[in-house]
Chains A and B, each alone.
Chain A
Amino acid sequence: MAEQILEMRNITKTFAGVKALDEVSFSVNRDEIHALVGENGAGKSTLMKILSGVYPHDSFDGSIHFEGDQCRFREIADSEAKGIVIIHQELALIPYLSIAENIFLGNERATAGVIDWNRTAVAAKDLLAKVGLSDNPTTRIADIGVGKQQLVEIAKALSKKVKLLILDEPTAALNDEESSKLLDLLLGLKKQGVTSILISHKLNEIARVSDAITVIRDGSVIETLDNAARQIDQDRIIKSMVGRELVDRFPKRESKVGEVVFEVRDWTVMHPLYDDRVVIDKVSLKVRKGEVVGLAGLMGAGRTELAMSLFGRAYGRGHRGTILKDGKELKAHDVNSSIRQGLAYMTEDRKNFGLVLIQDIKSNISLASLKKVSVGNVIDQGRENESAGEFAQSMRIRCTGIDQVVESLSGGNQQKVVLSKWIMAEPDVLILDEPTRGIDVGAKYEIYTIINKLASEGKSIIMISSEMPELLGMCDRIYVVTEGEISGELDREHASQESIMGCIMNHKRRTTA
């Protein structure tokens, strides 16, 4: 029997009369990677906020025992003093400070309040080496990619003499290569005596690296699975998470593909700041009526840039090439006219680009189609409420009412609000950028069903995703985007993870040769 490093006993936490956690007991053994999974809103984050002291010890019932001692954390500093460090999904790095400054922020290498920069640089280099980074510690955070930033966060945690590292969705924004590097690092840290709690929606990763998996549903622990022998598979976890078996992760659709609706020819876009940098290079693609077309590619390949530049030139400058819709050239120099001509783009970053978080569901849904519920310039509030209510119902948005502020909705429900907004705009061509990022399995299935319904109604869908199984399961055809160019086009029969990676690799070989 392995030694327990952490035990949380009978934790109950209530928000405004609603139990977010109900008598949850959760324990972690020393030197293991313990995965915590559950749908959004199941209570994972709440449990971790309790553990890290974000919610002080008198705001919940139950007790926390770490290395045998009972702990009463009043704030994050208390838990960090014990060696418990949490890395949040939204990274807490300051973009305009250097890597070294960020690592030692709040924990500066200083003598009598004066920072010793030499000591800082040496120590930072040391820590960076431990996480496998060779970058100069004086590099600004803004100048390194998200994958590296995540590693800097871990280096920062190591500088605090971490014993228990909590990672909340560390790989959500990373591509496959970066993710596997990060997970390998966790396995390495485990050998050096760092225990980790890993929260993730990527179940394949969890099955690969974790020694134990605890499933939370509706504020209660369902079970803890022993995965020391790595014999637990994704379907087993999903079954436990949703409480039923998902027969198929992707709902079936009869595709009835019609004539070409949307066509792009030799589309070239320059970087918004550097005039001579080509971001999108002579891209041509076609989308037919009722078709779901995927854009595959690695993070940073230019898929989002391509989509946004097509959507009223919302990205880049110096646009060249033609966009055709229904055979006629579509000339849209701003988002507004793009929407009016039947285009919609659902962003990958719903919090920063998709929603007005402080406003209610109704206002968010109607924002792109206010004209539809207005007489002249005056909004008919009855009609607005009515159509928002219809969407809340048909999209199954779980909320107290359409007056609920979207900030307080779970990720999956927020995504349904954004999707409602664009469906209300009645586009012919709908570009979905990472439509299921950061949302749970059940909500993903619902989103897939909606996408299928839209396609069967004759809409043309372009879907961007970093999860290859999702593209393979959903799309009629897939374009592979590599370094701002189309490096391959695969139809349903020929598309596979191998063939997509093959396109990417071939292209890279060609350009470097």
Chain B
Amino acid sequence: MSSISKFFKNNIRQYGMVIALAFIMVLFQVTTGGIMFKPMNITNLVLQNSYVLILAIGMLLAIVTGNIDLSVGSVAAFVGAVSAVMMVDNHMGVAPAMVLSLLIGAAVGGFHGYFIAFLRIPAFIVTLAGMLIFRGLTMVILQGQTKAPFEKSFQAMAAGYLPGMDLRWHGLNIIAIAAGILLSVILVVAMLRARGTKMRYHFETMPLWLDILKIVVIVGAINLLTFELAAYNGIPIILIILSVLIVIYTFVTQRTIVGRHVYALGGNEKAARLSGVKTNQILFWVYVNMGVLSALAGLIVAGRLNAATPKAGTGFELDAIAACFIGGASASGGIGTVIGTIVGGFVMGVLNNGMSIMGVSVDWQQSIKGLVLLGAVWFDVYTKSRAQTK
């Protein structure tokens, strides 16, 4: 019995937000009269939040190093504008234009990273400057106007679905259902194997029934999602992009040397440097990475709106930062996970979505989101201080 209560105590922060997310969704399901879980709305949730989630993944790395990036919204708008010049004005092909856009994002990130990592100017200041610089450049490029329209294939990346939409069985998209089942099988096998490895090295494992419960919940959630998607238009392309990013970044942060170096750098930069971690380089590449992800988000925003606008991406940086903190990242660095951040991002997204359906005014939405952010971080600090004194 004690091992179970210990398990819950140790993992309350990890699972607290997942439970909170589920609770909020159910709550909105009731208050919106069943609209929350409608297939169209679930699909919309994914489409609406994809770019903030992509930004949040990059932001997490910056926050784990103990820094921040305020420029991501402006950089996204800037890259969107540049891509519009390339594709709309100059009729460049979609693929080369996208590659070029991502490279521009990398250069912008490198610009920030150089000042932060090598000249040691605080990230807050550098990226605040970047926020102004690239918002200004966006306006200069667009001359205050909106550039549109983009090609169909470019729009599809942000708003389209996997082909085979018409392969239906009882009105459900077969590809989506199959993807859900396939993913479930992969996950079950992976988790069982991880458990086996732990046993082999004689590490503490969770009680079997808890592991099984965990698998059941995750498999249930995945299949619920794919079922919902199947009942609408199938799997959005953006969901594939997002999933690939989540898998890659989870792997990089948890399992690679580079990832470990990022966390060590955030936990204690001096100790990391004296242990042979090339702290300046790591910090630099974290910002280059942020630049690339900002550019990707900028392309997706442009594709979704089918236009590059001067005001695109306004306030995205704050949503991305909030997602990280709600997801359990520490403002002083060294702590935070990709999955936590994604959950945090969805908490914000569901709040937005649910309150909009309920007809709550935008002003109130802002205030409520602010309170949720404060509450989540307070909960974090509270559980941490209890863990220390008890």
Q: Report which A residues bind B (CB closer than 8 A).
A: 15-16, 311-312, 314, 334-336, 338-340, 345, 347, 352-359, 363, 366-368, 370-371, 374, 377-379, 381-382, 385-386, 401, 421
Number of interface residues of B (CB under 8 A): 29
**A15 proximity list for chain B (CB < 8 A):** 389-390
Asked if B255 and A381 sit within 8 Å, CB to CB, the answer is yes
Asked if A359 and B264 sit within 8 Å, CB to CB, the answer is yes
* CB nearest to B270 among chain A residues: A353
Binds A, one of B113-121, B146-154, B180-188, B197-205: B197-205
Task: For the complex, give the distance between the alpha carbons of A340 and B268 in Å.
Answer: 21
Taking the complex as formed, is B277 at the interface, i.e. its CB lies under 8 A from any CB of chain A?
yes
Excluding A334-B278, A355-B268, 7 further A-B contacts by CB distance (< 8 Å) are A335-B276, A352-B271, A359-B267, A359-B334, A367-B271, A378-B257, A382-B197
CB distance from B117 to the nearest CB of A (A): 14
**B257 proximity list for chain A (CB < 8 A):** 370-371, 374, 377-379
Taking the complex as formed, is B258 at the interface, i.e. its CB lies under 8 A from any CB of chain A?
yes
Asked if A370 and B271 sit within 8 Å, CB to CB, the answer is no
**A338 proximity list for chain B (CB < 8 A):** 276
Taking the complex as formed, is B335 at the interface, i.e. its CB lies under 8 A from any CB of chain A?
yes
Asked if B268 and A379 sit within 8 Å, CB to CB, the answer is no
Asked if B201 and A356 sit within 8 Å, CB to CB, the answer is no
**A368 proximity list for chain B (CB < 8 A):** 275-276
| Pairs A-B, 8 closest by C-beta atoms | A356-B267, A368-B275, A336-B276, A339-B276, A356-B268, A367-B275, A370-B257, A353-B270
* CB nearest to A385 among chain B residues: B201
**B275 proximity list for chain A (CB < 8 A):** 335, 339, 367-368, 421
* CB nearest to B260 among chain A residues: A370
Pick the contact of B256 from A347, A353, A378 — CB < 8 Å?
A378
* CB nearest to B258 among chain A residues: A377
Task: For the complex, give the distance between the alpha carbons of A15 and B261 in Å.
Answer: 33
Q: A335-B274, A367-B272 are in contact. Are A358 and B267 (CB under 8 A)?
A: yes
**A359 proximity list for chain B (CB < 8 A):** 263-264, 267, 334
**B91 proximity list for chain A (CB < 8 A):** none
**B268 proximity list for chain A (CB < 8 A):** 352, 355-358
Task: For the complex, give the distance between the alpha carbons of A336 and B261 in Å.
Answer: 12
* CB nearest to B273 among chain A residues: A335
Asked if B278 and A336 sit within 8 Å, CB to CB, the answer is yes
Asked if B204 and A401 sit within 8 Å, CB to CB, the answer is yes
Q: A15-B390, A353-B270, A381-B255 are in contact. Are A363 and B260 (CB under 8 A)?
A: yes
**B390 proximity list for chain A (CB < 8 A):** 15-16
Which of B197, B268, B273 neighbours the largest number of chain A CB atoms within 10 Å of its CB?
B268
Pick the contact of A358 from B256, B270, B273, B334 — CB < 8 Å?
B334
**A374 proximity list for chain B (CB < 8 A):** 256-257
Asked if A354 and B271 sit within 8 Å, CB to CB, the answer is yes
**A386 proximity list for chain B (CB < 8 A):** 201
Chain B 309-339 per-residue mask, 1 if CB under 8 angstroms from chain A, else 0? 0000000000000000000001000110000
Task: For the complex, give the distance between the alpha carbons of A353 and B197 in Å.
Answer: 34
Asked if B267 and A357 sit within 8 Å, CB to CB, the answer is yes
* CB nearest to B332 among chain A residues: A358
Task: For the complex, give the distance between the alpha carbons of A347 and B271 in Å.
Answer: 9
Which B217-269 residues sit within 8 Å CB-CB of chain A?
255-258, 260-261, 263-264, 267-268
**A370 proximity list for chain B (CB < 8 A):** 257, 260-261
CB distance from A364 to the nearest CB of B (A): 8
Asked if A379 and B256 sit within 8 Å, CB to CB, the answer is yes
Task: For the complex, give the distance between the alpha carbons of A268 and B267 in Å.
Answer: 33
Task: For the complex, give the distance between the alpha carbons of A335 and B390 in Å.
Answer: 40
CB distance from B115 to the nearest CB of A (A): 21
* CB nearest to B278 among chain A residues: A336
CB distance from B135 to the nearest CB of A (A): 35
* CB nearest to B280 among chain A residues: A334
**B334 proximity list for chain A (CB < 8 A):** 356, 358-359
Task: For the complex, give the distance between the alpha carbons of A401 and B6 in Å.
Answer: 15
**B271 proximity list for chain A (CB < 8 A):** 347, 352-356, 367
Pick the contact of B203 from A356, A379, A385 — CB < 8 Å?
A385
* CB nearest to B279 among chain A residues: A335
* CB nearest to A17 among chain B residues: B390
